[in-house]
Amino acid sequence: MKSGQKAATDGAGRLRPTTRVARARHGRVEADKAGGRSRGKGGAYKRVEIFLGVEAAIALRRLMRDGRSAREVIEALLRAEMARRDQDAPQSDPRP
């Protein structure tokens, strides 16, 4: 019970059992229970997402063959991508 609230009692001072009040649900009723977007994906789009997820998992396992953890592999990939973007970025000439 929260502070400042009185307990529900009957006339003799005994505690009455409380009843729970149903709360309104947030979101859409037909939303996918697994999480994600409000509307479930269907058809070919969903199959493509599953295929890409499986392919990504296979590629990650291949990169982990040398004993590195998934975190180490992903961090190395991110560092390499950042370095590649730095090289590809147009260099501005500070001289007028």
The predicted pLDDT at position 88 comes to 86
Residue 93 maps to a domain: no
What CA–CA distances, in Å, run from 55 to 59, 65, 87, 90, 95? 6, 16, 28, 33, 47
In a domain, 96, yes or no: no
Its domain, for residue 78, covers 43-88
Asked if residue 33 belongs to a domain, the reply is no
79 part of a folded domain: yes
Average pLDDT, the chain: 77
Whether the pLDDT of residue 23 is over 60: the answer is yes
Among 51-55, 65-69, 80-84, 90-94, name the one with the lowest average pLDDT. 90-94
The type of residue at 73 is V
Examine residue 11 and state whether it is found in any structural domain, yes or no: no
Q: Is residue 30 part of a domain?
A: no
Residue 9 located in a structural domain = no
- Please check whether residue 60 lies inside any domain of the structure: yes
Note the pLDDT of residue 93: 61
Number of separate domains in the chain: 1
Secondary-structure breakdown of the chain: helix, strand, coil percentages, each rounded to the nearest 5: 45, 0, 55
51: pLDDT strictly greater than 60: yes
C-alpha span between 65 and 92 (Å, rounded): 41
